[in-house]
Amino acid sequence: MNTIKNKASEREEIEALLPWHAAGTLSRRDAQKVEQALASDAELATQYETVRQDLAETIGLNESLGAPSARAFQRLMADIEADASTARRTRSGFSLGEWLSDKLSSFSPRTLAWSATAAALAIVLQAGLLAGMFVNEHQGGPFITASAPVEQTVKPGTDALISFAPNATAAEITKLLQTYKMAIVEGPTGEMYTVRLAVTGIPKEELAKVIKQLQGEKAVRFVGQKSAD
């Protein structure tokens, strides 16, 4: 009696698994059990055929439903850009370049976001203000623009206009500024920054020499003497 009951229960169990067997999502062990039952039970095999039919038509029906429009994707990406978590996440990853890029992209054209970032970072490093800026922001202190403190400390002298290579990193720009003992005093205006080469006036020949050297630097896209205001 118990054996009969067990067999009936086992058959019901196999019957319930037929849809997953047809879809190929059963474990190997269960799939083998179903295969064995199908081989010896004609009624179950007939039922399995109906399951396979249902599966095929369910796929066909779903495939006929089409897809969302391209507008949906554009909207999603716009929503992601606007989402509050986007900026927060960027900051929490301590990606300094992206953090500054976010700040500066509101001041400068989007296409210039990276070169502005690199240059601004260089200014900050040069001025030794980096730690202070992070501490201030994370403690809810007042926001300090990257260029403001530098501008306040610069005195009149010999200036040049410079734009950095688009692929120049902050480290490269910093190194360049250190090597030439320059400070960024203004910018960006478009892609151009004003750099101070010396706090006093320097001879024309010497200035031309420095500019020529700068033109040969990898991190520099353009450099030229700035006319006196």
Partner 1 sequence: MQTTSDEALIGRIAAGDKLAMQVLYARHHVRVYRFVLRLVGDASRAEDLINDVFIDVWRTADRFEARSQVSTWLLAIARYKALSALRKRPDEELDEETAGAIEDPGDDPEVAMQKKDTSDILRKSLTKLSAEHREIIDLVYYHEKSVEEVARIVGVPENTVKTRMFYARKRLGELLKAAGVERGWP
- Tell whether residue 22 is a contact of partner 1 (CB under 8 A): yes
Residue 77 or residue 199: which is nearer to partner 1 going by CB? 77
- Tell whether residue 7 is a contact of partner 1 (CB under 8 A): no
User: Could you tell me the smallest distance in angstroms from the CB atom of residue 183 to partner 1?
Assistant: 32
Q: Which residue, among 192, 70, 46, has the nearest Cα to 119 in the 3D structure? A: 192
Q: Which of 93, 109, 141, 166 binds partner 1 (CB under 8 A)?
A: 93
Listed ranges 43-51, 115-123, 142-150, 204-212: which one lies at the site for partner 1 (CB under 8 A): 43-51
23-50 in b/e form (b: 16+ CB < 10 A) is eeebeeeeeebbeebbeeeeebeeebee
Cα separation, 77 vs 101, in Å, equals: 19
Structure tokens at 35: 């295969």
- What Å distances lie between residue 150 and 162, 163, 184, CA to CA? 17, 18, 8
- Tell whether residue 65 is a contact of partner 1 (CB under 8 A): yes
- Tell whether residue 223 is a contact of partner 1 (CB under 8 A): no
Listed ranges 50-58, 126-134, 148-156, 172-180: which one lies at the site for partner 1 (CB under 8 A): 50-58
Cα separation, 79 vs 137, in Å, equals: 25
User: What distance, in Å, lies between the first and last C-alpha atoms of the chain?
Assistant: 107
Residue 77 or residue 135: which is nearer to partner 1 going by CB? 77
Cα separation, 88 vs 118, in Å, equals: 20
User: Could you tell me the smallest distance in angstroms from the CB atom of residue 210 to partner 1?
Assistant: 41
- Tell whether residue 62 is a contact of partner 1 (CB under 8 A): yes
Contact residues: partner 1, CB under 8 A: 15-17, 19-20, 22-26, 46-47, 50-51, 53-55, 57-62, 65-69, 71-73, 75-77, 79-80, 83, 85-86, 89-90, 93, 95, 98
